[in-house]
Amino acid sequence: MAPPKPSSNPHLRRIGPHTAGNPRRPFSSPSTQTRPTSRWFSGLSGRFRRWCLPGKRGRWRSGLAAAATGNAFLLQGGDCAESFKEFGADKIRDTFRVLLQMAAVLMFGGQMPVIKVGRMGGQFAKPRSTTFEERDGLKLPIYKGDSINGAAFDYKSRTPDPHRMLRAYSQSAATLNLLKAFATGNGGHAALHSVAQWNLDFANNREQGDRYRDLADRVDEALGFMAAAGLTNDYPVMTTTEDSTSSLHYDSSAHFLWVGERTRQTDGAHIEFLRGVANPLGIKNLRVKLPHLIRAVERTGQIVTWVCDPMHGNTIKAPCGLKTRPFDAILVEVVAFFDVHEQEGSHPGGIHLEMTGQNVTECIGGSQPVTLDDLTSRYHTHCDPRLNASQSLELAFIVADRLRKRRIGTQ
């Protein structure tokens, strides 16, 4: 079948890599796509359903605005990178359940709405610090996520395949449908009494049970949103559309897009794409610069939502060769985040965690500690280590206690 004709979407024409106004701008790194394939995929845009609708994006922006002023708190969590192989209803359900538990605890601790952002339904690509990987004299492209290439160390798997984006789209749609079913169906996954019982079970099975039980007794829940890293531009370009009511262009593949250290170049394709869409954006910065950043932003009169990412700066290599993250180091950074905002008189707006609802052994520590010797027993991540269900919920209880103290201190 011949490739479809390019989309007539004016936004796609403006940001496209081969237009007169932007002749050299690639959709993504040259190693990822060939130019003819990029043009072919841009033509698929009209065939994809937009699942992040304008009405929800408006509520999402309002929620972020509330978090910026201390009237809400953002909880963002999910896999470092989703995979085709591990896709399944049980895995999605488990992560959804833990996010609900965490949100319920945070909501009670802060006595404010919690905006839940699932790092799922499209998290199939990852920026990497190196372009190639070498083993036993064989040098191949680095694994960049299932929507780009395969993890197996062979030439066929590591060769970028743009058709993987079609599979990523289909799996993302299935994930969202499952989440909606869990939230609104008869299974009770979003029911108040279910979340309450899960949290009580957690508290009753911890040495710190008394510390957590008071918070676990009162909970609430709500359905959240989804987010994705802006790494592979071909995919969001396919799902970019114009809102008929505002004439603004939105990437409909996610409510919330963010850029990090490897994609924040001001002359790069990612910033070029993001400046043309109206989605809320997140930009990661180093913790040591936070006080200076807060003051600089306040001097400009801008209002932003400050969100702590305690995961990426705390990755170490274990003696066994696997990457891991110490729970204590993650906790120290979260505490420092709250301390800095307390000192500066600003608002801690949320936390962003790489986590799973499964009982993996990828991050060491926690009240049910994972040791270095445990890492190899259930190490399933396709990229970076994630907090398991127990560690995630434990961190939520600690953050909730900090929110409670902050709330009491301002009354």
Question: Does 384 carry a binding-site annotation?
Answer: yes
Question: Does 344 carry a binding-site annotation?
Answer: no
Could you tell me the CA-to-CA distances from 274 to 151, 252, 334 in Å, in that order?
28, 13, 28
Give domain status of residue 139, yes or no: no
CATH code (residue 123) = 3.20.20.70
Give domain status of residue 142, yes or no: no
Q: What are phi and psi of 115, to 5 degrees?
A: -90, 115
Each residue's pLDDT expressed in tens, for the chain with a length of 411 residues = 343 343 343 333 333 333 333 333 434 443 444 455 555 555 555 556 666 666 666 777 888 899 999 999 999 999 888 888 888 888 888 888 889 888 888 988 888 999 988 888 888 888 777 889 999 999 999 999 898 999 999 999 999 988 898 888 888 888 888 888 877 765 545 454 566 566 556 666 655 555 555 545 544 333 334 444 444 555 555 566 666 666 666 666 665 565 665 666 667 666 676 666 655 555 444 456 788 889 999 999 999 999 998 988 788 999 999 999 999 999 999 999 999 999 999 999 999 999 999 999 999 999 888 999 999 999 998 889 999 998 998 999 899 999 999 888 765
Point out which residues pair with 114 in neighbouring strands: 73
Give domain status of residue 141, yes or no: no
Domain count, the chain: 1
Could you tell me the CA-to-CA distances from 153 to 81, 157, 212 in Å, in that order?
18, 7, 45
Point out which residues pair with 226 in neighbouring strands: 118
Give domain status of residue 113, yes or no: yes
Give domain status of residue 21, yes or no: yes
Question: Does 320 carry a binding-site annotation?
Answer: no
Give domain status of residue 324, yes or no: yes
Question: Does 308 carry a binding-site annotation?
Answer: no
According to the 3-state scheme, what is the secondary structure of 368-392?
CCECHHHCCCCCCCCCCCCECHHHH
DSSP for 253-318, please give it: T-SEEEE-TTT--TTSHHHHHHTT--S-EEE---GGGHHHHHHHHHHHT----EEE--SGGG-EE-
Nearest to 222 by CA among 352, 334, 347, 118: 118
Question: Does 146 carry a binding-site annotation?
Answer: no
Q: At what angle do helices 89-110 and 209-216 cross, to 10 degrees?
A: 90
Give domain status of residue 346, yes or no: yes
Question: Does 354 carry a binding-site annotation?
Answer: yes
Give domain status of residue 204, yes or no: yes
pTM of the complete model = 0.70
Which domain range does residue 341 map to?
Answer: 10-127+164-409
